[in-house]
């Protein structure tokens, strides 16, 4: 059915469609906004990854150092 997927003329049609739909003045602004969004997403994903690895390293250290038993509460 779709043997050749996207051929160069398909991409040309998509580009022409976007030019007609948005106009040549709005496309650079849209591309700039998309680029900023991708940079923010990438930096946030990297920060979450670093935070997760830092927590996984810190968690065993906390378990080993906290040998104090939890207080037992009795009800009367």
Residue-wise pLDDT tens digits, 8-47: 888 899 888 888 888 878 888 888 999 999 999 999 999 9
Tally of helices (H runs) and strands (E runs) in the chain: 2, 0
14 occurs within a structural domain: no
Residue-wise pLDDT tens digits, 38-66: 999 999 999 999 888 877 776 655 555 55
45 occurs within a structural domain: yes
62 occurs within a structural domain: no
Number of domains in the chain: 1
3-state SS class at 21: helix
36 occurs within a structural domain: yes
3-state SS class at 64: helix
Query: Can you give the residue range of the structural domain that contains 30?
Result: 24-53
């Amino acid at each position: 059915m779709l043997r050749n997927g996207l051929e160069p003329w398909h991409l040309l049609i998509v580009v022409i469609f976007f030019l007609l739909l948005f106009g040549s003045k709005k496309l650079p602004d849209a591309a700039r906004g998309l680029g900023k969004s991708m940079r923010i997403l990438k930096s946030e994903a990297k920060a979450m990854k670093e935070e997760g690895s830092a927590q996984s390293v810190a968690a065993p250290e906390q378990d080993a150092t906290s040998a104090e038993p939890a207080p037992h509460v009795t009800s009367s």
